Amino acid sequence: MSVRYTEFHPRWHRPRMSVFWWVGRRSYLVFVLRELSSVFVAWSVVFLLLLVHAVSEGGKQYQQFRNLSSNPWMLALNVVTLAFLLFHAITWFNLAPSAMVVRMRGKRVPRSWIAGAHYAGWALLSALVAWLIVG
Amino acid sequence: MAKRRAEPLVWLLFTSGGLAAALLLPVLLVLFGLVFPAGWASAPAEAHLLSVARYPLTRIVLLGLFALPLGAQVPLHALRGTPAQAPQQADHRRLLRRRASGIGLRGLPLAGRPMSQGRLLAIS
């Protein structure tokens, strides 16, 4: 009778994690949704690249882009994308005070000022861009 | 001289990508993804857009807006926090870094190409 030797191999303790580990708690859900927003950021960049490409190619391509963007599916996708973009922007501006510590005359500038400055810049830039485009 | 690490630089790219995306993408998507297609305002003529896009400052801003998120912000976000991020931290991080830089390196030329072709570069 032959004896089978097995190598000593400690088994790792790795508890299985559900793919939906982030659903149970609100903070986890928000975290994962925020990470997910990057996919929509990427899509919006691609969408704008298509626009720039169409504009650089000429009138016919621009018309094609406009037809594409008024397709109901595309509209729906862009509404969802917009929701994620706003979520990304608002959470971004709200965490800015934690990342930036600004001191003025030896005193730390209040968090609300930093967040406020970001929101003001956002509004200003958006207005400027809209004015440039709508003309 | 002390050895410099590349990590702070990557974080700088990451934050500027996030900031650029937060500041400029919403208004552009509201206009071109919703307001114009839904007909709430008439879409600008192609000639007007072309003249705006030809302006050098616009081109620099657009290049930053396209390249930074695609090159740094999106890859890092998209790969972080995946369920696989369990105990094998060191290995996993190395893998994430490689994948993120892979996607980023592919994203950059994608962002640059339409900016440097066609009538955008033609001098009027």
Least confident of A24-38, A83-97, A102-116, B107-121: B107-121
Q: Which residues pair with B26 in a beta bridge?
A: none
Chain A neighbours among B 30-59 (CB < 8 Å)?
30-34, 36-39, 41, 43-44, 46, 48-50, 52-53
Q: Which residues from B are below 8 Å from A37, CB to CB?
A: 77
CA-closest candidate to residue A52, choices B13, B111, B122, B76 = B111
Q: Which residues from B are below 8 Å from A38, CB to CB?
A: 73-74, 76-78
Residue A45 near residue B70 (C-beta atoms within 8 A): yes
* Chain B nearest C-alpha distance from A2 (Å): 38
pLDDT in tens, B38-75: 989 888 888 898 888 888 888 888 888 888 887 766 66
Measured over all CA atoms, what is the biggest interatomic distance in chain A, rounded to whole angstroms? Answer: 91
pLDDT in tens, A109-120: 888 888 999 999
Which residue, among B14, B31, B49, B108, would best test binding to A if mutated, counting the most A CBs under 10 Å from its CB?
A: B49
Q: Which residue has the higher pLDDT, B39 or A77?
A: A77
Cα angle A74-A54-B46, degrees, rounded to a multiple of 5? 100
pTM listed for this prediction: 0.79
* pLDDT the model gives residue B87: 44
Sign of CA dihedral B11, B14, B16, B19: negative
* pLDDT the model gives residue B50: 87
- For B24, which of A69, A78, A125 is closest by C-beta distance? A125
Q: Which residues from A are below 8 Å from B52, CB to CB?
A: 132-133
Residue B66 near residue A49 (C-beta atoms within 8 A): yes
Q: What does each C-alpha distance from B90 to A12, A16, A116, A134, B85 come to in angstroms?
A: 16, 19, 39, 50, 10
Residue A62 has pLDDT above 50, yes or no: yes
End-to-end CA separation in angstroms for chain B: 49
Q: What does each C-alpha distance from B24 to A135, B15, B46, B66, B73 come to in angstroms?
A: 17, 14, 21, 10, 14
Residue A44 near residue A88 (C-beta atoms within 8 A): no
- For A89, which of B26, B70, B117 is closest by C-beta distance? B26
Q: Do B33 and A47 touch (CB under 8 A)?
A: yes
Tell me which amino acid residue B35 is.
V
Report yes or no: B109 at the A interface, CB cutoff 8 Å.
no
Cα angle A49-A55-A58, degrees, rounded to a multiple of 5? 140
Q: Which residues from A are below 8 Å from B53, CB to CB?
A: 52, 55-56
pLDDT in tens, B73-101: 666 666 665 544 444 555 666 666 666 66
Residue B124 has pLDDT above 50, yes or no: no
* pLDDT the model gives residue B12: 77
Q: What is the DSSP letter of A108?
A: E
Residue A99 has pLDDT above 70, yes or no: yes
Mean pLDDT estimate for chain A: 88
Q: How does residue A65 score in pLDDT terms, banded at 50, 70 and 90?
A: very high
Report yes or no: A44 at the B interface, CB cutoff 8 Å.
yes
Please state, in angstroms and rounded to a whole number, the distance separating the CA atoms of residues B70 and A9.
44
Q: Do A133 and B25 touch (CB under 8 A)?
A: no
Residue A49 has pLDDT above 60, yes or no: yes
Average of pLDDT values for B22-36? 93
Q: Is A56 exposed, middle or buried (0-12, 13-18, 19+ CB in 10 A)?
A: buried
End-to-end CA separation in angstroms for chain A: 91
* pLDDT the model gives residue A123: 96
* pLDDT the model gives residue B101: 64
Please state, in angstroms and rounded to a whole number, the distance separating the CA atoms of residues A32 and A94.
17
Mean pLDDT estimate for chain B: 73
Average of pLDDT values for A82-97? 92
